[in-house]
Amino acid sequence: MSETAQSVEAVLDDLLPSGDGPEARLFAAMRYATLGGGKRLRPFLVVASADLFDVPRSNSLRAGAAVELIHCYSLVHDDLPAMDDDELRRGRPTCHIAYDEATAILAGDSLLTLAFEVLADEATHANPDIRCALVAELASAAGGQGMAGGQMFDLAAEETTFGLEEIRRLQALKTGRLFNYSCLAGVILGEGSPAARKALMDYAHDLGLAFQIADDLLDLEGDELEVGKKVGKDAEAGKATFVSILGAHDAREEANRLAGKAASHLDLFSAKADLLRHVARFVVERRT
C-alpha cells in the first residue's frame, strides 16, 4: 500500500495545478487538501484490481488518482461548517481552516472536476469507450445517487434515528460507492469478464461495510492524534451507527466476518488476489 501511495502521490503532484496570479491560492488549497496524507486506499484498490488483468500501471495510477481526487474533494466539503464543521483532518488543520471557506469550496469543486478531466484524457487509456465508461461510472458513484446522496442521508441521520438496514444503505452510498468504483475501474481498464466483475463487486461491497464499521469503532475508541481527526463525534451528535446499534463487541465481530467474506469472493483469482485479501484484514485492523 505504501508503494502505491508513493506512486499515486507523484501522479497527483503532476496533475494538480500550480502557478501564480489570482488563482494561485486556489491551486495551493487543492494541493494542500490532496498531497501529503491519507492512506490512499481507494487508489490502491484501483491498482490492485487492475493488476489482476495486467493493466499497465501508467493507466491504473491515473484512474486511482482520479478516485483520490474525488475522495479529497468529499473530505474538504464534509469538513465545512455547513456539514461536519471539523478542524482536523489527516492530522492537520482542515482546508477551510488553513485557507478560508470560500477557497475550500472552490478547491473541492476543482478537485471534483479535475478527476473527470484526468479520466477523459487519452493518457488514462487509448480506447475512448473505456475512458467513457470510467467517467460515467465515477459520475454515478460520486453523485446524487451515490456518495453525495449518501451524504444527504447522513445529514438526515442527525434528525432521525435510523435502523440497521437504513444505516447499511446510507453507508453503502456514502462510503461504499467509491470502494465499488475503485474495484470496478480495475475491471473496466482490464476488460475483465462478467464473472470477474461480479467477484470484485461482491468483494468491494463487503470491504466497504467492514471499512465503515471499523471507522465507527475508531470514532468510539480511537485516539485523535493517531486517527488524525476528531473522534467521539457520532456519540456527541447522537447519531445511529453500526456501533451504536450493534454495540462495540458485535460490531467488531461483524467487521471481521465481513472482511473474511470479502476475501472469499476472490477465489476466482487464486494467489494473484492475495494483496486484495490482505487489504480486507487491513481495513478492520487499522488504527487510522
Cβ 171 to ligand GRG, closest distance in Å? 8
Residue 98 CA to residue 91 CA, distance in Å, equals 12
Minimum CB distance to ligand GRG, residue 165 (Å): 19
Minimum CB–partner distance for residue 247 and ligand GRG (Å): 20
Please count the CA atoms within 13 angstroms of the CA of 60 that sit on its side-chain side.
Answer: 29
- Inter-residue contact 81 to 214 (CB < 8 Å): no
Instruction: By CB under 6 A, tell whether 215 contacts ligand GRG.
Output: yes
Phi, psi (5° rounding) for residue 19?
Answer: 160, -175
Q: What is the DSSP letter of 267?
A: G
Residue 155 to residue 158: CA distance in whole angstroms:
6
Task: Output the DSSP codes for 214-239.
Answer: HHHHHHHH--HHHHSS--SHHHHHT-
Q: Which is nearer to ligand GRG, 8 or 52 (CB)?
A: 8
> Which residue, 118 or 148, has its beta carbon nearer to ligand GRG?
148
State in angstroms the smallest separation of the CB of 127 from ligand GRG. Answer: 30
Asked whether position 151 contacts ligand GRG by CB under 6 A, the answer is yes
CB of 38 or CB of 192, closer to ligand GRG: 38
CA distances from 103 to 16, 113, 116 (A): 16, 15, 20
For 92, the 3-state DSSP assignment is: strand
Cα R_g (the chain), whole angstroms: 18
Least distance to ligand GRG, CB of residue 193, Å: 29
Segment lying near ligand GRG (by CB under 6 A), choices 13-21, 72-80, 126-134, 160-168: 72-80
Nearest-approach distance from CB 52 to ligand GRG, in angstroms: 22
- Using CB under 6 A, which of 49, 59, 74, 94 touches ligand GRG? 74
Interface with ligand GRG: number of residues (CB under 6 A): 15
Q: Does 78 bind ligand GRG (CB under 6 A)?
A: yes
Closest distance between ligand GRG and the C-beta of residue 96, in Å? Answer: 13
Measured from the CB atom, the residue of 149 and 260 that comes closer to ligand GRG is 149
Q: Taking CB under 6 A as the criterion, which residues in 35-64 touch ligand GRG?
A: 38-39, 41
271: exposed, middle or buried (C-beta count within 10 Å: 0-12, 13-18, 19+)? exposed
**Residue partners of 137: CB distance under 8 A and separation at least 6:** 181, 184, 185, 188
Question: Would you mind telling me the total number of residues written for the chain in this entry?
Answer: 288
- The site map against ligand GRG for 88-127 (x = CB under 6 A) is --x-------------------------------------
Interface with ligand GRG by CB under 6 A: which residues?
38-39, 41, 71, 74-75, 77-78, 90, 147-148, 151, 174-175, 215
